[in-house]
């Protein structure tokens, strides 16, 4: 099974989110960030990261006393996979409905709104061609 086809759990996604923010991270650092959001045992975080390493989602540098873990899956590709699943299961394939729901429910910066407007303008131009 390729990384592209691999199932990533919600808990694994939380760990990946922490790892994507850092350039190499220990289990302890990941665990400390995770416990700011929810209660978790260190041994659970350690085991989860070991499983992710075995699945090929993470690599690790074990040349030091504390292993340093790195994500082996691209953030944009994982976001796309989750977005595709969410759009198809929750929004019946309607990108418009998903965007309207997101814009109505979450804060959006002026820069993000400008980028969205540019994408809409580009999509309109593509439709005309």
- What would the DSSP string read from start to end of 33-45? HHHHHS---HHHH
37 is in which domain, residue-wise?
Answer: 10-71
Whether residue 87 is contained in a domain is answered as yes
CATH at 43 = 1.10.10.10
Q: Which residues are 58's β-sheet partners?
A: 71
Residue ending a domain, among 28, 53, 71, is: 71
What's the number of domains the chain is made of? 2
In this structure, how many other beta carbons lie within 10 angstroms of the beta carbon of residue 64? 8
pLDDT in tens, 27-82: 999 999 999 988 989 999 999 999 999 999 999 998 988 899 999 999 999 999 88
DSSP string, 74-86: -HHHHHHHHHHHH
pTM equals 0.76
Are residues 35 and 80 part of one domain?
no
């Amino acid at each position: 099974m390729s990384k592209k086809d691999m199932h990533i759990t919600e808990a694994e996604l939380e760990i990946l989110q922490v790892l994507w923010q850092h350039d190499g991270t220990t289990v302890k650092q990941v665990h400390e960030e995770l416990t700011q959001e929810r209660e978790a045992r260190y041994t659970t975080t350690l085991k989860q990261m070991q499983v992710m390493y075995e699945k090929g989602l993470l690599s690790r540098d074990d040349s030091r006393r504390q292993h340093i873990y790195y994500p082996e899956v691209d953030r944009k590709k994982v976001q796309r996979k989750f977005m595709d699943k969410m759009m198809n299961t929750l929004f019946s394939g309607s990108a418009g409905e998903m965007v309207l729901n997101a814009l109505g429910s979450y804060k959006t910066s002026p820069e993000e709104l400008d980028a969205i407007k540019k994408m809409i303008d580009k999509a309109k131009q593509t439709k005309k061609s």
